[in-house]
Each structure stands twice: as C-alpha cells, then as structure tokens.
Amino acid sequence: MKIVHLPVLLEETLTYLAPDDSPSLLIDGTLGEGGHTEAFLTRYPQLSVIGLDADKNIQAKARKRLEPFGERMSFRNTFFDDFFATYGERERPDRILMDLGISVYHYEESERGFSFGKEETLDMRLNTEAGESAWDLVNSWPEKDLADIIYRYGEERYSRRIAGAICRRREETPIDRADDLADLIRGAVPSQARHGRTHAATKTFQALRIAVNGELDRLERVMVEAFRVLKPGGKLGFITFHSLEDRMVKNFFRDLDRNCLCPPDAFRCTCGDIHRGKLVTRKPVGPTEEEVKRNSPSRSAKLRVIEKLTDQEALS
C-alpha cells in the first residue's frame, strides 16, 4: 500500500496528547491515511482509537494500514462535526485530535482538482456524494459571491479581478479543469503577483476548497461539540494550517481558559466563576527546521492543546 502523506508535528502531538497509563480512548477527527493514529496505537498499547473521515476512499487506505491493531481501532465515515453533535452516551474520549490539513493524498491521488497543476476535473469535495463541487461554484455562482468567498476564505487581495475573469471565461465555455482555472487566475492578477514564492492560484484554490466542504462552519461547530463530549481531565488538540483556522481555535481556547464567562460589561458575575479549560500550549507549537526540510507541508502547521476541567456550564 502506497502512503503519500506524512503526519505533521507527530512527536509534538504524541507528547502533548499522551494518554494516561490506563485504558483510554482517542478520537482522531481527521484520520486521513492514519499516520497520527498509527503512531499513537504503537506507542500507547492501552489506547483505543475511533477514526473519522468524510472521504471513504482515503479511509479505505487507513483501514488497510491499521489492520494490525484489531479491535483497538474502529472507523466512522462522517464529517467530524456531525459525529460529535450526535455522540450520545457512549464512552467519552480522553483525548481528541483534529488535524485540519488536507492530506497529500487528495493532491496527488484523488483526481478531484485539489492541485492546480493537474489536468483534473474541478471537484474538491471530501465526500463526493454530497453538496456542490468546485465546478458548480466556479461555473454558476454570481460574480459578487465568488469574489466574496475568494477574499474571505483565501484572503486574496485580487479577489474581484479573479472573479471577474472567471465569469467572463465561463460565458464562452465552462471551466472544467483545475489547471485551466489556475492558468486563468494567473493571467488575471498583476504581473508582480505571478512570480511570488507561491502560485498565484494558491489562495483561490484554498478558498474554493473551504467553501465546497464548509470547513470553517464545521470547525466552529466541532470545537463546541468536541469539547462538550470530552471527559473532564481530557485534552483536545487542533493542528491548523492557515490564519483563519488558527484564529478561531485560539479565540475558542482563550475563552475556555477564562475564569469568568460573563460579558466584560456585566455589572456582576452570574456564571459562578466557572473555569472550564486550561491551556496546555500557551503559544502554538510549530515544526522544527528539520521537519520543514523533510516535510514541506508542515511549514505552516500550528498545534494548540487545551485540557478540560469541568462539564459545568454557565448559570442561566
């Protein structure tokens, strides 16, 4: 079986989310090819894992890879926010990991248009059986809506120029392939933007992928639901890869770490001075120079971890 994705911040994740020396449960909310989970199961023999992934194809690879661990490993083909929202009363996890990066598998093997250098049909869906594809967005969304998502999710300063170029082109012929879209974007931006360290289409492709899979909306939901499901004393870790994700996780963890949940302008405390979480990583943990040299996608990775202190919520 060919493995194309190297798990980022692996040693750091194994350390900060190390389980206690007793039977425990980890939920890997973004299983991918199973790299993080394989390392956890190998190092911690009393640990069991539930692995989640919305992409049934990549999950099939993980199933093959993790077969040696038998009943210590189980799988769910689902988006992580849906899973935690309906978790119910089953065994609660001691550790939860969310690696929000897109697997190298999707760029190299999925043939869904994640990579702007390939002659692949625009799709970008993790679950190809649900929702609009990138082709639908590019070929049917109004110009203003396209510009807005490219700016919001890609932080692309030339979003309006790019959206305008897309809409003019599709009036002549549909934009079917990833490489065609990338060439169009490159031609739409000013010349100085075509020769930077990253391809001119990088931010637009990021924005389309986020929009197609509802990534930021799902992240907002899963932060709340995963923390709710986590055992008191358990730890929740997120690995992020761009500023939009990291800002959301940082702010959520900061609010959990506060002693008082009342609004800053409240006349007096009515929440009972609840302290729900404790930051394990006061600052994000990034990759070493050696890891970046060995695995370039790790360059922008940041790990944040929080410990849950109580199930109690604010008083109504």
Closest-CA residue to 159 (of 180, 142, 143, 176): 143
Per-residue pLDDT of the chain (316 residues; tens, 9 = 90+): 565 668 899 999 999 999 998 999 999 999 999 999 999 999 999 999 999 999 999 999 999 999 999 999 999 999 999 999 999 767 899 999 999 987 777 877 778 888 887 788 899 998 888 889 999 999 999 999 999 999 999 999 999 999 999 999 999 999 999 999 999 999 988 887 777 777 899 999 999 999 999 999 999 999 999 999 999 999 999 999 989 999 999 999 999 998 665 565 655 556 556 789 999 999 999 999 999 999 888 888 999 999 999 887 643 3
In the prediction, which pLDDT does 316 show? 36
Task: Kindly report the number of other CB atoms within 10 A of residue 138's CB atom.
Answer: 25
**How do strand 24-28 and strand 47-53 relate by DSSP bridges?**
parallel
Judged on CB neighbours under 10 Å (0-12, 13-18, 19+), 196 is exposed
Closest-CA residue to 175 (of 147, 129, 137, 225): 137
The predicted model scores a pTM of 0.87
Angstrom distance (rounded) from CA 218 to CA 272: 30
Beta bridge partners, 75, equal: 51
Query: Does residue 306 contact residue 280 with C-beta atoms inside 8 Å?
Result: yes
CATH 1.10.150.170 domain locations along the chain: 111-213
CATH 3.40.50.150 domain locations along the chain: 10-104+232-308
Q: Which residues of 279-308 are buried (b: 16+ CB within 10 A; e: fewer)?
A: ebeeebbbbeeebbeebebbebbbbbbbbb
In the prediction, which pLDDT does 49 show? 97
Q: In this structure, which topology does domain 111-213 adopt according to CATH?
A: DNA polymerase; domain 1 (1.10.150)
Tokens of 306: 């929080």
Q: Which CATH number fits domain 10-104+232-308: 1.10.3720.10, 3.30.420.590, 3.40.50.150, 3.30.750.24?
A: 3.40.50.150
In the prediction, which pLDDT does 313 show? 63
Angstrom distance (rounded) from CA 126 to CA 209: 9
Angstrom distance (rounded) from CA 18 to CA 290: 22
